């Protein structure tokens, strides 16, 4: 099984975000695969076993759980974004 969630926490209150994140944890615990599209890197970092960064339809980075802190992941993401902007110019 594959469950796809596209920005499931957008515009939700904190309580509802917690419910969504708990739901994702239950998906993972059941052994199902979950494709979780999200811009909130703190949520991604807390939930994902593997994070893939896509820019303009291309994979530009991949990070496994535990390889980076949330701060390092954010810096990595911003660095990839800056490089992409320079390459597109």
Contacts of 55 (CB under 8 A, 6+ apart): 80, 81, 84
Contacts of 45 (CB under 8 A, 6+ apart): 51, 68, 69, 70, 73
Measured CA to CA, the distance from residue 87 to residue 2 in angstroms comes to 34
The Cβ of residue 44 has, within 10 Å, a number of other Cβ atoms equal to 19
Assess whether pLDDT exceeds 90 at residue 88. no
- pTM of the predicted model over 0.85: no
Q: Where in the chain are the domains?
A: 1-48, 50-89
**Torsions phi, psi for 73 (to 5 deg):** -65, -45
**pLDDT for position 80:** 84
Assess whether pLDDT exceeds 80 at residue 84. no
**pLDDT for position 77:** 86
pLDDT in tens, 13-64: 999 999 999 999 999 999 999 999 998 989 999 999 999 988 888 898 899 9
pLDDT band at 4 (very low <50, low <70, confident <90, very high): very high
Region 72-82: what's the mean pLDDT?
88
């Amino acid at each position: 099984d594959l469950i796809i969630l596209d920005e499931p926490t957008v515009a939700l209150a904190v309580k509802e975000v917690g419910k969504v994140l708990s739901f994702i944890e239950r998906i993972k615990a059941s052994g199902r695969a979950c494709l979780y599209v999200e811009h909130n890197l703190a949520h991604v970092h807390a939930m994902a076993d593997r994070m893939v960064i896509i820019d303009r339809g291309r994979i530009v980075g991949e990070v496994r759980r535990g390889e980076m802190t949330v701060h390092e992941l954010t810096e990595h993401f911003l660095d990839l974004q800056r490089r992409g902007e320079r390459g597109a110019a």
